[in-house]
C-alpha cells in the first residue's frame, strides 16, 4: 500500500487516535467476557460508552470531515479510494442518526438484553414482548434516518453487508430453499441417516480437552506468540491488533465436538485478522470486509476443512490420546459424529444443511416486521408453524423457539442473513481453490496442504482487509460474482453421494 495523496496522509495520521481507542475498546470487550469480575458490569459499560463517545466526536470532528470530503477521488489508487469509501460510510452513518436516537436505542437495547435473558430463563415471551415492540419501533425509525432506495430492510442489511439488498437475499434464499430441502430429504431417507450419536454422550476431561484444542490449533498453524485461546460463555474472536488476535471457546461436560468445532470456527476468524497486510495497520482498512466474509472464513475452517475425513484422520491420534473414551470407537464413528445431519430447534446447534432454514425463517420475519405484515404478538405462533414446515419439528417452549437468539434484543436486524451468505461464500471459495490448486482432498493429503490453502486465503482475501467491498472482492476472485451453487454442490457430493 502506497499512500501518495497528501490529504489522505493527514487523514491517516488523525485516524490513528480513533483506531487506537477502538482497539482499546476491543481489549476491554474481550476482558469483559473472559476475566472481568461480575460486579464490574455497569462500570465497564459506562467506561466503554464514554470512550465510544470520544471516538464518535473524533470522527464527527469538523476538521476531520473536511479533510475526508476534500479528497478528489480521481487519481487515487485502490487503497486511497478504499480509505475514503470506508470513512465516508462511517461518517455518514453517524451523521444520519441523531445523538438522542443513538442514546435511546442503546438505553433500550442494553436493558432489553437483560430482560431477554430473564424471559428466556423463565420461558416467558410476555416479559420480552414490550421491549421487542419498542425495539422494532426504533429500528423502523433508524431505517427512516438511514434512508433506502427500494426496501426499508435494505438500510439495515447494508449495515452488515455493504451493497447487499433485500432483493439479493430474496433471490439467494429462493434459490437455495428447494435445493436444501431436496438434499435434506434425500439424507433423511437414506439408510445411513442417523441423528443421534453415542459420542455426544461421552464425558470428557476439561483439561485434556483444552490440550486437544491447542494441539489441533497447532496443526492449523495457530501462532501462540500472536494469539491466545481462552474460555468464554459464548465463543468469539477479538482482534486487538495485528499481532494480538484472541479467540475463546467453551467446555461443556460432554459432546466434545462442540468445543473443538467452536475453537476451529473462531480460529477461522482469527486467521483472517492475523493475515491482513501489515501495511494496512492502524488504517480504516485493517479489518475484515464484512460479517459474511468473516463468517465465510470461520465456516470454511470449521466445516469444509475440520469435518473432512482426511483432516479428521490427521487429528484422530491426538483425539485418542486426550479423549480416553475414544478407544471404544472406530475412526469411522469419529467421522460420522462430526458430520451428523440433525434437524434441531436451536440455530447454533444445527448442521450444515438445516442451518439455513433457521436463517431463512429469521430473514422472513425481519422483512415482514419492516413491511408491517406481522405483529409482535403473532410472532411465536408464526415461528412455530414455520419450524414445523421447514424442519418438521414441534416447538414446545419459547426458550427453544422465538426467544433463543440474543440478536433482536440488541437491535441487530439484518445480521442473520450474513450467516447464511458466509456459509455459501465458503462453498464459493472451495470451488475457487479447487480451480486454482486442485482437489481439496489431494491438498489435505499433502504435507503442507493446510498452509497452501491458508496462503490461498491470504492472497485472495485476507491481506486486502477492507480494500474492496464484499461484491467487488467476490467478483475479483470468481470473475463472475456470487453464486450459491458451489455450496449446494459441496453438500451434494458430501451427503448424497455416500
- If the CB atoms of residues 274 and 298 are measured against Mg ion, the closer one turns out to be 298
* Shortest distance (Å) from residue 298 CB to Mg ion: 4
Q: Taking contact as CB under 5 A, which single stretch among the options 290-298, 430-438, 449-457, 487-495 is the one that binds Mg ion?
A: 290-298
Task: Return d(Cα 454, Cα 456) in angstroms, integer.
Answer: 5
Task: Return d(Cα 474, Cα 482) in angstroms, integer.
Answer: 6
* Shortest distance (Å) from residue 416 CB to Mg ion: 12
- If the CB atoms of residues 298 and 420 are measured against Mg ion, the closer one turns out to be 298
- Binding residues for Mg ion, total number by CB under 5 A: 1
Task: Return d(Cα 94, Cα 433) in angstroms, integer.
Answer: 39
- If the CB atoms of residues 288 and 465 are measured against Mg ion, the closer one turns out to be 288
Q: Taking contact as CB under 5 A, which single stretch among the options 56-64, 186-194, 291-299, 405-413 is the one that binds Mg ion?
A: 291-299
- If the CB atoms of residues 164 and 334 are measured against Mg ion, the closer one turns out to be 164
- If the CB atoms of residues 152 and 268 are measured against Mg ion, the closer one turns out to be 268
Task: Return d(Cα 471, Cα 73) in angstroms, integer.
Answer: 20
φ, ψ of residue 254 to 5 degrees: the values are -135, -175
CA 172 to centroid of chain Cα atoms: 18
Q: Taking contact as CB under 5 A, which single stretch among the options 88-96, 110-118, 294-302, 462-470 is the one that binds Mg ion?
A: 294-302
* Shortest distance (Å) from residue 422 CB to Mg ion: 8
Greatest extent of the chain over all pairs of C-alpha atoms, in Å: 69
Q: Taking contact as CB under 5 A, which single stretch among the options 102-110, 150-158, 195-203, 298-306 is the one that binds Mg ion?
A: 298-306
Enumerate residues 244-283 that contact Mg ion by CB under 5 A.
none
φ, ψ of residue 447 to 5 degrees: the values are -60, -45
Of residues 219, 213, 218, the one with CA closest to residue 444 = 219
Task: Return d(Cα 39, Cα 477) in angstroms, integer.
Answer: 48
Enumerate residues 36-95 that contact Mg ion by CB under 5 A.
none
* Residues facing residue 238 across a β-bridge: 246
* Shortest distance (Å) from residue 356 CB to Mg ion: 15
Q: Element (H or E) spanning 59, and its range?
A: helix 41-59
Q: Taking contact as CB under 5 A, which single stretch among the options 191-199, 249-257, 293-301, 332-340 is the one that binds Mg ion?
A: 293-301
Of residues 200, 262, 191, 263, the one with CA closest to residue 227 = 263
Distances, alpha carbon 416 to alpha carbons 360, 412, 413, 421, 471, in Å: 9, 8, 7, 9, 18
- The residue with its CB nearest to Mg ion is 298
- If the CB atoms of residues 5 and 426 are measured against Mg ion, the closer one turns out to be 426
Task: Return d(Cα 154, Cα 413) in angstroms, integer.
Answer: 11
* Shortest distance (Å) from residue 337 CB to Mg ion: 22
Task: Return d(Cα 374, Cα 389) in angstroms, integer.
Answer: 18
φ, ψ of residue 290 to 5 degrees: the values are -160, 175
Enumerate residues 142-181 that contact Mg ion by CB under 5 A.
none
Task: Return d(Cα 362, Cα 156) in angstroms, integer.
Answer: 14
Specify whether the CB–CB gap between 322 and 146 falls below 8 A. no
- If the CB atoms of residues 166 and 298 are measured against Mg ion, the closer one turns out to be 298
* Shortest distance (Å) from residue 210 CB to Mg ion: 21
* Shortest distance (Å) from residue 269 CB to Mg ion: 6
- If the CB atoms of residues 298 and 339 are measured against Mg ion, the closer one turns out to be 298
With a CB cutoff of 8 Å and minimum separation 6, the contacts of 174 are none
Residue entry with cell 435494505: 154
Binding status of residue 298 toward Mg ion by CB under 5 A? yes
- If the CB atoms of residues 81 and 307 are measured against Mg ion, the closer one turns out to be 307
Enumerate residues 176-205 that contact Mg ion by CB under 5 A.
none
Task: Return d(Cα 68, Cα 84) in angstroms, integer.
Answer: 7
Task: Return d(Cα 87, Cα 85) in angstroms, integer.
Answer: 6
* Shortest distance (Å) from residue 52 CB to Mg ion: 23
Q: How many residues does the chain have?
A: 498
- If the CB atoms of residues 354 and 418 are measured against Mg ion, the closer one turns out to be 418
Q: Residues with catalytic annotation?
A: 266
Give the three-state DSSP class for 74: coil
* Shortest distance (Å) from residue 410 CB to Mg ion: 15
- Strand order in 237-241's β-sheet? 227-231, 244-249, 237-241
CA 66 to centroid of chain Cα atoms: 34
* Residues facing residue 244 across a β-bridge: 241
Q: Taking contact as CB under 5 A, which single stretch among the options 39-47, 138-146, 297-305, 331-339 is the one that binds Mg ion?
A: 297-305
Q: Taking contact as CB under 5 A, which single stretch among the options 52-60, 188-196, 296-304, 428-436 is the one that binds Mg ion?
A: 296-304
* Shortest distance (Å) from residue 121 CB to Mg ion: 25
**Would you tell me which residues interact with Mg ion (CB under 5 A)?**
298
Amino acid at each position: 500500500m502506497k499512500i501518495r495523496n497528501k490529504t489522505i496522509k493527514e487523514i491517516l495520521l488523525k485516524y490513528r487516535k480513533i483506531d487506537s481507542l477502538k482497539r482499546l475498546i476491543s481489549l476491554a470487550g474481550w476482558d469483559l467476557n473472559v476475566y472481568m469480575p461480575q460486579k464490574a458490569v455497569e462500570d465497564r459499560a459506562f467506561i466503554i460508552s464514554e470512550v465510544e463517545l470520544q471516538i464518535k466526536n473524533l470522527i464527527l470532528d469538523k476538521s476531520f470531515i473536511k479533510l475526508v470530503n476534500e479528497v478528489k477521488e480521481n487519481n487515487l489508487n485502490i487503497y486511497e479510494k478504499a480509505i475514503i469509501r470506508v470513512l465516508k460510510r462511517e461518517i455518514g452513518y453517524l451523521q444520519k442518526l441523531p445523538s438522542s436516537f443513538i442514546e435511546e436505542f442503546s438505553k433500550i437495547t442494553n436493558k432489553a438484553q437483560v430482560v431477554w435473558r430473564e424471559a428466556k430463563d423463565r420461558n416467558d415471551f410476555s416479559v420480552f414482548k414490550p421491549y421487542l415492540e419498542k425495539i422494532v419501533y426504533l429500528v423502523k425509525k433508524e431505517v427512516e434516518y438511514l434512508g433506502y432506495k427500494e426496501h426499508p430492510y435494505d438500510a439495515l442489511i447494508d449495515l452488515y453487508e455493504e451493497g447487499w439488498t433485500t432483493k439479493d437475499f430474496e433471490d439467494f434464499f429462493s434459490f437455495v430453499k428447494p435445493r436444501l430441502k431436496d438434499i435434506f430429504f434425500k439424507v433423511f431417507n437414506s439408510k445411513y441417516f442417523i441423528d443421534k450419536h453415542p459420542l455426544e454422550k461421552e464425558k470428557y476431561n476439561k483439561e485434556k480437552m483444552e490440550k486437544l484444542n491447542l494441539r489441533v490449533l497447532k496443526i492449523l498453524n495457530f501462532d501462540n506468540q500472536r494469539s491466545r485461546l481462552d474460555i468464554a460463555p459464548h465463543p468469539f474472536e477479538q482482534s486487538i491488533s495485528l499481532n494480538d488476535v484472541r479467540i475463546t471457546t467453551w467446555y461443556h461436560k460432554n459432546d466434545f465436538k462442540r468445543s473443538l468445532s467452536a475453537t476451529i470456527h473462531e480460529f477461522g476468524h482469527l486467521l483472517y485478522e492475523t493475515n491482513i497486510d501489515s501495511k494496512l495497520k492502524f488504517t480504516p482498512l485493517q479489518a475484515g470486509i464484512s460479517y459474511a466474509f468473516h463468517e465465510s472464513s470461520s465456516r470454511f475452517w470449521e466445516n469444509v476443512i475440520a469435518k473432512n475425513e482426511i483432516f479428521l484422520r490427521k487429528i484422530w491420534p491426538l483425539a485418542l490420546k486426550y479423549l480416553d473414551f475414544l478407544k471404544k470407537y472406530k475412526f469411522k464413528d469419529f467421522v460420522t459424529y462430526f458430520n451428523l445431519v440433525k434437524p434441531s430447534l436451536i440455530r447454533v446447534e444445527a448442521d450444515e444443511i438445516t442451518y439455513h432454514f433457521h436463517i431463512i425463517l429469521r430473514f422472513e420475519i425481519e422483512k415482514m416486521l419492516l413491511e408491517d405484515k406481522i405483529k409482535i404478538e403473532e410472532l411465536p405462533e408464526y415461528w412455530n408453524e414455520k419450524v414445523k414446515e421447514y424442519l418438521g419439528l414441534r416447538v414446545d417452549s419459547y426458550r427453544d423457539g422465538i426467544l433463543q437468539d440474543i440478536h433482536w434484543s440488541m437491535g441487530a436486524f439484518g445480521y442473520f442473513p450474513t450467516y447464511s451468505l458466509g456459509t455459501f461464500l465458503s462453498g464459493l471459495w472451495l470451488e475457487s481453490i479447487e480451480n486454482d490448486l486442485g482437489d481439496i482432498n489431494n491438498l489435505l493429503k499433502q504435507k503442507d496442504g493446510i498452509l497452501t490453502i491458508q496462503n490461498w486465503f491470504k492472497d485472495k482475501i485476507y491481506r486486502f482487509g477492507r480494500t474492496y467491498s464484499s461484491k467487488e472482492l467476490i467478483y475479483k476472485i470468481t470473475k463472475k460474482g456470487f453464486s450459491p451453487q458451489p455450496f449446494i454442490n459441496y453438500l451434494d457430493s458430501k451427503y448424497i453421494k455416500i
